[in-house]
Amino acid sequence: MQYELPSNFKLLPSVRARIAIQGLVSNADTPPQTARIASAGGRILAALLLALTAASPARAQDAQSPVKIGVLAKRSTEKCLEKWGATADYLTSQISGHFFTIVPLGFDEHEGAVVREEVDFILVGSSYYVGLETSHGANRIATLKNKQLGKAYTILGGVIFRRADREDIQDLDDLKGKTFMAVNEDSLGSWMAAWRELKEIGIDPYSDFADLRFGGSLDAVVYAVRDGKVDAGTVRTDMLERMAAEGKIRLEDFYVLEHDHVDEDVCEFPFLHSTDIYPEWPIAKLKHTSNELAEKVAVALIGMPADCPAAQAAQCAGWTVALNYQSVHECLKELRVGPYKDYGKITLADMVRQYWPWMAAGLAALVLMIAVTIWMIRLNRNISRTQSALRESEERLQTIQDSVQAGVVLIDAETHVIVDANPAALKMAGVSKQSVVGRVCHGFVYPEEEGKCPITDLGQEVDNSERVLVGADGQTIPILKTVTRITLNDREHLLESFVDITDRKRAENELRESNKRFEHIARSSGDWIWEVDTNARYTYASGRVKEILGYDPEEIIGKRPVDLMPEEEAKHILETTKDTFAAREPLVDLENWNLTKDGKLVCLLTNGVPILDENGQLLGYRGVDKDITNRKRDEDVIKQTRDEAEASAERAERTRADMERMNVVMMGREERVLEMKQEVNDLLVELGRAGKYQHV
């Protein structure tokens, strides 16, 4: 379908386009022979890509149950089914034994459907895919080829626009203090691309706009701007043209904003746009979906003819091999949204855990790039009969080399002269292409001296090996490099591909230093430091255990604490601690008796805390044991002395009581003697005699 654009519109190319447009645009005038070769190549690339998908076990699809494809309904459920229903029918007809169906999903529904495994494949915007890839293991298998103006495009961007009669808004700076509407906070083309442009010129839409709204659908945003409900808005590229073609709007009623750095000669993207461009929507398999079914779906989609009913209903030109979505990652990372909302707020341990998946992904991308490069070279030799086909193949190869994030350098194997280098390699070394091409690599980009090339002179193999790259300033950069021998124009070359691992090496060094510090602390501590897993088996023991129990740390690994205790003590400790472990509570001052390697009893005072992962799952316990045997023996001596003293005090108390009773008896007898003396005196008086006894 062709569009007539009003005279007041300009095609707005992005000056910072991260995707080589010429390599992503499929020309409708491509010769049939070349088109067939490219189609066959696409199938081979799809197979290569699927061979590198995640190795985790995938659930086999039941041939009797429908295969569900979740699709983001960016406009409405009805339009979603109308647009993609034919694609499900196409896959059903192409893949025997399976029935495919479309499940429309709202902007806030797609992630829940993936988590609950309610769909088997997912077709969403690029930013949504990046989030699902990072958080839930989604794996892209093909990229949509959007069809407009007679050509196929695998890229998209954002368009920032206002009503044509709003002369007070001439550029992006004029949006400060205005009302603005986008589709959804998680949409790449309909919000994030525009947000990134605004951020680059110092506008924070969340604080600098009078009001920021999200309309929920593309149509709602366009109508809100047209009807004056907001001052400006943003939607994904080609939306204005589509609605104009449907007769819903007139392009003359709108004006697209550009900003100062736009250069019309940068790209040939034909749609109205105001932002950078990014890869089109991908379709991705989910973790529970089998690789076998995903491969069939990928091959069927990549082989979909551009004129079949499914492609026409989807207003696309079919599908291509899944593109590199690194530019989307960079956009989300810069905006700190999606999987990168906490980017930069990580500990050393988090950084190490974070970089390993990226390195694995980079390695997979490197292997894929090499496979694609080799395939392109072989394809180049197959179509070398015609000069035009050769140039087309070389341009395609150059596009791939320029777009990959890994450095690629082509060297003549005999002369060691650098023949070519892609932008990633030049940027890594800090040199220009003119200063590199034609020069000998020895001592310039690579540190090896002449005659000591590891490949051609020493016969070594370099396959995912750590090497160094010499930068323009003479500094060495650690890289992970692979070298492949290839033949171009009947001459042997070395194809070297590498990635910068400076951050990884720095993280490894920091981790080693951290481990050394921990070991020094553990060795200097008078206590035994330990770790156990969820089965209460030791996974780490410091050297102090040798002095306390007589075991080397290696002898302790794999044992349980109760394995080192007498049988009755082990039963007592298991009963005492079972509730603590069940509640994941710390161990506090737990006294327990253990047997040394030579059979002696040692009393330990145990303290420990649970180890939890980021999801709160228990990984084990970490703690220290202190030898309190001498203290316990001293306590026993003190207790015995105290018991003997108490017994002596008790005997003294009984003696004192006996003495008091004797005193009472003696005092009673003395009083009786006095009474008797008084009676005798009284009797003598009566008899006329003087008293004989006197009171003393």
pLDDT tens profile 208-248: 999 999 998 889 999 999 999 999 999 998 889 889 988 99
Confidence of residue 17 (pLDDT cuts 50, 70, 90): very low
- pLDDT > 90: percent of the chain: 42
Q: pLDDT value at position 591?
A: 93
Mean of the per-residue pLDDT values of the chain: 80
Q: Say if residues 538 and 546 touch (Cβ distance below 8 Å).
A: no
Lowest mean pLDDT among 231-245, 286-300, 446-460: 446-460
Average pLDDT over residues 306-317: 92
pLDDT band at 357 (very low <50, low <70, confident <90, very high): confident
Average pLDDT over residues 19-44: 36
Closest of 247, 248, 219, 252 to residue 233, by C-alpha: 219
What integer pLDDT is reported at residue 444 of this predicted model? 57
Give the whole-angstrom CA distance, residue 157 versus residue 328.
11
Q: Averaging pLDDT over each range in 404-418, 431-445, 528-542, 629-643, which range is the top one?
A: 528-542
Which residue, chain included where needed, has tokens 């529970």? 288
Q: Read off the pLDDT band of 435 (50, 70, 90).
A: confident
Residues 607-634, mean pLDDT to the nearest whole number: 91
pLDDT tens figures, 605-617: 999 999 999 898 9
CA 505, 507, 509 angle in degrees (round to 5)? 70
Cα separation, 595 vs 342, in Å, equals 49
What tokens does 448 get?
Answer: 């090896």
**What confidence tens digit (pLDDT) does each residue in 559-570 have?**
999 999 999 999
Tens of pLDDT along 129-168? 999 999 999 999 999 998 876 788 898 899 999 999 999 9
DSSP-derived 3-state class of residue 291? helix
pLDDT category of residue 113 using cuts at 50, 70 and 90: very high
The tokens for 599 are: 């059979």
Residue 186 · residue 128 · CB < 8 Å: yes
Whether 460 and 418 have beta carbons less than 8 Å apart is answered as no
Cβ partners under 8 Å of residue 103, min gap 6? 68, 69, 70, 71, 113, 118, 119
| The pLDDT of residue 540 is above 90 | yes
Tokens representing 296 are: 């069939």
**Angle separating helix axes 326-335 and 193-200, nearest 10 degrees:** 60
Query: Locate tokens 């890509």: which residue?
Result: 49
| Structure confidence by residue, pLDDT tens digits, 462-507 | 657 777 777 777 778 888 878 888 888 888 888 888 888 888 888 8
Q: What is the mean pLDDT of residues 640-668?
A: 72
Which is higher by pLDDT, 541 or 51? 541
Question: Is residue 407 helix, strand or coil?
Answer: strand
Phi first, then psi, for residue 520 (nearest 5°) are -60, -45
Please give the pLDDT value at position 62: 54
pLDDT band at 421 (very low <50, low <70, confident <90, very high): confident
The encoded tokens of residue 69 equal 């494809």
Does residue 662 have a pLDDT over 50?
yes
Measured CA to CA, the distance from residue 555 to residue 550 in angstroms comes to 10
Side-chain-side CA neighbours of residue 487 (13 Å) = 5
Query: CB–CB of 163/222 below 8 Å?
Result: no
For the cut 60, the answer to whether the pLDDT of residue 277 exceeds it is: yes
The answer to whether 607 and 623 are in contact (CB under 8 A) is: yes
Q: Would the pLDDT of 61 be above 60? A: no
- Cβ proximity of 279 and 323 under 8 Å: yes
Greater pLDDT, 47 or 576: 576
**With b meaning 16 or more CB within 10 Å and e meaning fewer, what string describes 350-383?**
ebbeebeeeeeebbebbbbbbbbbeebbebbeee
Q: Which of the residue ranges 181-190, 291-300, 653-662 would you say has the lowest mean pLDDT?
A: 653-662
Q: What is the pLDDT of residue 1?
A: 37
Structure tokens, 535: 């089965």
pLDDT of residue 15: 29
Residue that the structure tokens 């950069």 belong to: 477
Amino acid at 291: N
For 450, the token pair is: 């002449």
CA distance 526 to 63: 64
Are 147 and 211 within 8 A, CB to CB?
A: no
Would you say residue 73 has pLDDT above 70? yes
Task: Provide the pLDDT for residue 350.
Answer: 63
Confidence check: pLDDT of 331 > 80: yes
Residue with the two structure tokens 């180890």: 611
| pLDDT (mean) for 11-24 | 32
d(CA 322, CA 325): 9
Q: 3-state class of 490 per DSSP?
A: coil
* Two structure tokens written together for 666: 């003696």
DSSP 237: T
Q: How far apart are the first and last CA of the chain?
A: 146
pLDDT level of residue 254 (50, 70, 90 thresholds): very high
Q: Dump pLDDT digits (tens) for 390-400.
A: 677 667 766 77
